Amino acid sequence: MAEMKPPANAYDVLIVGGGMVGASLAVALRSLPLKVGLIEAVEFESSAQPSYDDRTVALSYGSKRIFETLGVWNRLEADGATAIHRIHISDRGRFGFARLSHADAGVEALGWVVENRALGRALKESLTDSPGLTLFCPAAMESVEYGPDSAQVRIRHGERVDTLTTRLVVAADGGRSLVREQAGIETRRREYHQTALVTNVTPERSHANVAYERFTDSGPLALLPMRDNRCAVVWSLPPERAESIRQLDDTAFLAALQERFGQRLGRFLKAGHRAAYPLARTEVMEHVRPRLALIGNAAHTVHPVAGQGFNLGLRDVATLAQILGEAQRAGEDPGDLTVLQRYAQWRRRDVWATSSFTNGLVSVFSNDLAPLSVARNLGLVAVDLFPPAKRALLRLSMGLAGRLPRLARGLPL
């Protein structure tokens, strides 16, 4: 008797959301004998694609290793990834500061700054080299129904509606995840009452591959080195002030930024397009359910201070891909709750530590009580002068703390 083939619309894994995290998971699963589908509502190179807009992402050393292992890094490097050799942390108007250097960690760079559009191009090129992948784009997920052995995912592309069957649904559809909402998974959300004003500027002096994290009385201000001697700016402000500054003309905007940042890079000469994004911390009560796993912003959002958000999501990707690879080799069902709980348990500590770290920075540096101000500045000095404290901060910021998945150690799945 001839072996019956599974129907064409049956998948092992369906990833809902083709942004940076969802597309990265699709690339990571290429090496596994799994049938994978990726559902994304907006074309990758469309100006309406929110994941691949004018923003930049700071990739940690660990994230670079993941992309290197996946064969994506060469494309990013060729497209202008800019190394961060040093990080300068300061409290505006106070005495404390800390300096971190790649030499302290014995690596070629602490991280790299990559333009989101460049990352989108690199991931899209990698996806086209994936014969086991079906890309549904543009297509919108309308609903998911979970059964004991599979899930039914209803998608719409144009006037056509299809129902796909899968053993595992992965929600990678962002902080306002529809998959998570339809599943009724509870979230805890803390509003920071801040807006991230994002742009890039050209300074008078060379940035010399230094990233700056400057804490001010209105919120953290980060400047990250980019190619062509530009600096990516992530400026956290109260929402009303962020909007008023966003609408300034370039001359007035550069003057406002100069007043907050100071003269370390000389005068700011030119500003790019400005955009604003509200900031919140989100935690989910469940990372997995039978037939469902959450990754990236669908599972957690953190404050952009220290640039940890995407790196945290990429470690979700590397961990889930490893768990699915191990399950496949053991003949296990990828959507079985026992399998998925291994992913959830592995990720719990890293997500908690990173979320607590970024939230703690915002809380401590936004309080102007004199005793706390002195204490935090003494803390910065201690980090600068005390090697064990510096090493601990370096490992956390480089994405090398705790138990690392194989991809983050440079090992294939």
Q: Is the pLDDT of residue 282 over 60?
A: yes
Three-class SS of residue 230? coil
pLDDT bracket for residue 359 (50, 70, 90)? confident
- Name the pTM for this structure: 0.92
pLDDT for residue 372: 44
Mean pLDDT (the chain, rounded): 89
Q: Is the pLDDT of residue 27 over 50?
A: yes
The answer to whether 56 touches 113, Cβ cutoff 8 Å, is yes
Number of Cβ atoms within 10 Å of the Cβ of 50: 12
Strands 140-146 and 292-294: unpaired
pLDDT for residue 329: 97
252: which 2 tokens? 């007035």
Q: Is the pLDDT of residue 2 over 50?
A: no
pLDDT bracket for residue 45 (50, 70, 90)? low
Q: Is the pLDDT of residue 69 over 50?
A: yes
- Over residues 290-328, the pLDDT tens digits come to 999 999 999 999 988 878 999 999 999 999 999 999 999
- Over residues 206-265, the pLDDT tens digits come to 999 999 988 888 888 999 999 999 999 999 999 999 999 999 999 999 999 999 999 999
DSSP-assigned states of every residue in 161-214: EEEEEEEEEEE-S-TT-HHHHHHT--EEEEEEEEEEEEEEEEESS--TTEEEEE
- Over residues 377-413, the pLDDT tens digits come to 555 555 555 567 678 878 888 999 999 999 999 999 9
151: which 2 tokens? 């899930």
**Angle, CA of 362, 365 and 367, to the nearest 5°:** 105
Domain coordinates in residue numbering, the chain:
10-189+279-409
pLDDT bracket for residue 374 (50, 70, 90)? low
Hey, what amino acid is at 137?
C
Q: What is the CATH number of domain 10-189+279-409?
A: 3.50.50.60
Hey, what amino acid is at 217?
D
pLDDT bracket for residue 48 (50, 70, 90)? low
Gap between the Cα atoms of 286 and 307, Å rounded: 24
The answer to whether 359 touches 367, Cβ cutoff 8 Å, is no
pLDDT for residue 215: 83
pLDDT for residue 4: 38
pLDDT for residue 50: 65
- Over residues 124-166, the pLDDT tens digits come to 999 987 888 999 999 999 999 999 999 999 999 888 999 999 9
H or E element in which residue 152 lies: strand 151-157
